[in-house]
Amino acid sequence: MNSRLEEITKKIVGNIHEVIVEYQINDTELMQALNFLTEVGERGEYQLLSDVLGISVLVDEITHGQEETAKTAHNVEGPLYRPNAPKMGSKAKICSDGDKGDRLILTGQVLSAENNLPLAHALVDIWQADEKGDYENQDENQADYNLRGLIETDEEGRFTIETVIPGPYEIAKAGPIGGFLEAIGRHDWRPGHIHFKVSHESCSPLTTMLFVPNDPWIDSDAIGAVRDSLIMKFEKIDAPEELTKYNVDEPFFLCKYDFILNTIENEKIEAKDEALQIK
Ligand SMILES: [Fe+2]
């Protein structure tokens, strides 16, 4: 007997019954709903359903806390992470010469929230879409692991990553979730963003994403993941001496961003994870 599961089930079922009575749902509508859920399962889109209903982000916030602490805000991982990205030093280039779009250099430090000291040899696992909004594993024109990398910070916790500014993309074009969003008058665009998993042996790992400022969808992300503290600030760099300093041959946008890792494990959450397991 799992009393937490029992309580949650009662609450959910009670709320569903209330909606059925209020809207006088008939058997045709029930069949439509069940067929929709069947198709969502067949197409492997339950994660996406959770995303577009804002459930993924809400659970992520409950699990990892809000932005009131010093640490960098956590965010959802999304479905496109691939482990074993190419290992790179603290000065890394993750784009290829064929990548179009504006160049971006992202530089900063990985720091500990406890004392604000830099974390040497921290790992910054980065993945992103290209200018068109495609990840390499969705696009046969991109090389394997393009725009992905596992970067190790230097002795001062620093990293400098050369890439391109990722474009926005649609998350549900062809499947049942796309049809559902259209039916309720919502779009399926996500603003351009870059994903990160930042880790160090002395801290809790951080999964998050940074957003492209001024993106047309920055105020209406289809999964509601944008947080002010995670929107990058771009500075246009075109002075010849600056280009030499960063070892690039064309003007680029510079973003300085420090990742601050938490040192406290959240034991409360582990307890909850266990409580929800169905035996
Ligand atoms: Fe993404």
Same domain, 90 and 40: no
Contacts of 72 (CB under 8 A, 6+ apart): 198, 206, 208, 229, 230, 258, 259, 260, 261
List, for residues 100-113, the tens digit of each pLDDT value: 999 999 999 999 98
CATH code (residue 109): 2.60.130.10
pLDDT at 86 over 90: yes
pLDDT exceeds cutoff 60 at 141: yes
Q: Is 123 in contact with 151 (CB distance < 8 Å)?
A: yes
Q: Are residues 55 and 128 in the same domain?
A: no
> From the CA of 147, how far away is ligand 1's center (Å)?
12
Quote the ligand 1 centre to 262 CA distance (angstroms): 23
- pLDDT at residue 269 greater than cutoff 60: no
Q: Is the pLDDT of residue 268 over 70?
A: no
Measure 217 CA to ligand 1 centroid, in angstroms. 13
Ligand 1 centroid vs 24 CA: distance in angstroms?
39
Residue 271 has pLDDT above 60, yes or no: no
* Number of domains within the chain: 2
Cα 207 to averaged position of ligand 1 atoms, centre (Å): 12
Both 24 and 120 in one domain: the answer is no
Average pLDDT over residues 119-140: 96
Same structural domain for residues 159 and 245? yes
Give the environment of ion ligand 1: residues with CB less than 5 A.
78
User: What would the mean pLDDT of 108-137 be, rounded to a whole number?
Assistant: 96
pLDDT tier, 64 (very low <50, low <70, confident <90, very high otherwise)? confident
Mean of per-residue pLDDT scores for the chain: 92
At residue 115, the pLDDT reads 87
d(CA 18, ligand 1 centre) in Å: 36
Model confidence band, residue 273 (pLDDT cutoffs 50, 70, 90): low
The segment with the largest mean pLDDT, out of 67-71, 169-173, 251-255, is: 251-255
Residue 267 has pLDDT above 70, yes or no: no
pLDDT in tens, 10-48: 999 999 999 999 999 999 999 999 999 999 999 999 999
pLDDT digits (tens, 9 = 90+) for 201-228: 999 899 999 999 999 999 999 999 999 9
**215 shares a domain with 166:** yes
The first and second tokens of residue 163, run together, are 């890439």
Tell me, in angstroms, the distance from the centre of ligand 1 to residue 220's CA.
15
Encode burial over 209-220: b for 16+ CB neighbours within 10 A, e otherwise: bbbbeebebbee
Pair 180, 222 in one domain: yes
| φ and ψ of 164, to 5 deg | -120, 160
Q: Are residues 20 and 135 in the same domain?
A: no
Q: Indicate whether 182 and 251 sit together in one domain.
A: yes
Residues 15 and 109 in one domain: no
Find the domain containing 13 and state its range. 3-59+268-275
111 CA distance to ligand 1 middle (Å): 24
Residue 276: its pLDDT value, please? 55
In this structure, the answer to whether residues 31 and 149 fall within a common structural domain is no
Question: Quick one: 87 and 146 in the same domain?
Answer: yes
What is the pLDDT at residue 69? Answer: 63
Q: How far is the CA of 135 from the centre of ligand 1 (A)?
A: 8
94 lies in the same domain as 35:
no
> Which residues, in sequence order, are CB contacts of 259 under 8 Å at separation 6+?
72, 108, 109, 110, 111, 122, 124, 196, 198, 206, 208
Rounded distance from Cα 61 to ligand 1 centre (Å): 18
